[in-house]
Amino acid sequence: MAYYVGMLAPHYTHFYPRRPVDASHPEAVIDFNRCILCELCVRASRDVDGKNIFAVQGRGIQAHLVVNTPSGKLGATDFSIRDKAAQVCPTGAILTKHRGYEIPIGQRLYDRKPISVVGDVATLSESKGGRRHD
Ligand code: SF4
């Protein structure tokens, strides 16, 4: 939808704090600035993976995602890119390393055709650019 209406960049100054990026894990990066506190990774890690790696700490504007280790670093956990928690983030806050921009800008699904033509990606096969969300 954002592509369709031309929303390609934020227009207002962000008022939330700038948070560090954690690249301490060999397979994944967490960009805490992208996190919307949906808690999908928290529940997936706790309820599916049985690892309890993530939690939300603080309230209101102070609320933020934390990693359950003394250092707060993902690299100090037994997190795996095969974990459910690694696959559920809707914003790309939890990213797989070495795969950024796998499809170059200009060749992505909605770069080629508008969403009004492509429709719901969940109904497309992966070979046609579809992507299923669990
Ligand atoms: S799934 Fe992503 S957006 Fe949701 S709480 Fe976890 S890191 Fe944040």
CATH of the domain at 114: 3.30.70.20
Identify whether 6 is part of a domain: no
Identify whether 98 is part of a domain: yes
| Cα 26 to averaged position of ligand 1 atoms, centre (Å) | 19
Identify whether 86 is part of a domain: yes
| Cα 34 to averaged position of ligand 1 atoms, centre (Å) | 8
Mean pLDDT computed over every residue of the chain: 87
Identify whether 131 is part of a domain: no
Task: Decide: 36 in ligand 1 pocket, CB within 6 A.
Answer: yes
Q: How far apart are CA 25 and CA 67, in angstroms?
A: 12
| Cα 83 to averaged position of ligand 1 atoms, centre (Å) | 14
Which band of pLDDT confidence, cut at 50, 70 and 90, is reported for residue 119? confident
Interstrand relation of 64-67 and 21-22 (parallel, antiparallel or unpaired): unpaired
Q: How far apart are CA 59 and CA 103, in angstroms?
A: 37
Which of residues 60 and 121 earns the better pLDDT score?
A: 60
Task: Decide: 89 in ligand 1 pocket, CB within 6 A.
Answer: yes
pLDDT tops 60 at residue 133? no
| Cα 91 to averaged position of ligand 1 atoms, centre (Å) | 7
How many domains in the chain?
1
Identify whether 105 is part of a domain: yes
Identify whether 134 is part of a domain: no
pLDDT of residue 134: 46
Single pTM value for the model:
0.70
Domain residues for the domain of 35 are 21-120
Four-CA torsion 80, 73, 58, 18, nearest 10 degrees: -110
Task: Decide: 63 in ligand 1 pocket, CB within 6 A.
Answer: no
